Amino acid sequence: MNINSILDFITLTNKFRAVKRVVFIKDEGRLENDSEHSYQLAMLSWYLLSEKKTGIDKDLVIKYALIHDFVEVYAGDTWFYRSKAEDESKKKLEAESAIQLKSDLPEFIDFHQLIEDYENQINPESRFVYALDKIIPIMNIYLDGGDNWKEHKVTLDNLIKNKTPKIAVSPEIEPYYNELVAILKDNKDMFHVEHEQDIS
């Protein structure tokens, strides 16, 4: 490894930072990027695991949080509420991106292994991050007043239907989600309300 390889790595992380997500940053009027999201996920993971003993490897969780979306460097981000065809396209693009990352960083072996392990959800740590990753956008949109849900016509029922099975993979995260859903049920005005013309 030399300074040129380090500069190449910085360039790649800058590309990661340039990937825009669909969640707005509160009070800034702009979309968050993948670096900001991954940092927030890593910090929240650390915070949650500092509170009690769970048997979860904190350091591994933080690594997963930092790399969980890195395939989006080439694949880009996609909206959570996507069609089956869009989901298949996302999987294909991310698999191709993982191959490209191996070509870019052949020396970073554990990085590639972690990406693969995360995608396959092989352990409680990867499932912890996977589930928490599904909650963070909910919390950020809630704290921003729910505008994102209304803009994209997301109902509370739609959120619960789509998020619940994904979050259920982690028994450590599920209780936080259940508490959050209770809060959302008390704030239904933040969500899109379906009218007859919406249902067809």
Rounded Cα–Cα distance for residues 50 and 156 (Å): 31
Number of compact structural domains in the chain: 1
Can you give the pLDDT at residue 190? 94
Lowest-confidence range among 4-8, 20-24, 89-93, 117-121? Answer: 89-93
SS3 label, residue 157: helix
Strand partners, 24: 31
Mean pLDDT of the chain: 89
Q: Is 25 helix (H, G, I), strand (E, B) or coil?
A: strand
| Nearest alpha-carbon partner for 105 in 200, 12, 198 | 12
Q: What is the pLDDT of residues 98-148, one digit of tens each?
A: 999 999 999 999 999 999 999 999 999 999 999 999 999 999 999 999 988
Cβ-in-10-Å burial (0-12, 13-18, 19+) of 109 comes to exposed
190 contacts: CB under 8 Å, gap ≥ 6 = 141, 142, 145, 146, 149, 150, 184
> What is the C-alpha to C-alpha distance for residues 183 and 59, in angstroms, rounded to an integer?
31
Percent of the chain with pLDDT over 70: 92
pLDDT of residue 127: 98
Q: DSSP characters for 93-144?
A: HHHHHHHHHHHH-TT-HHHHHHHHHHHHT-SHHHHHHHHHHHHHHHHHHHHT
* C-alpha to C-alpha distance for 176 and 183, rounded to whole angstroms: 11
> Nearest Cα to 26, choosing from 178, 154, 137?
137
82: CATH: 1.10.3210.10
pTM, 2 dp? 0.89
> Which of 131 and 76 is assigned the larger pLDDT?
131
- Expressed as residue numbers, the domain containing 161 is 3-198
Burial of 65 (0-12, 13-18, 19+ CB in 10 A): buried
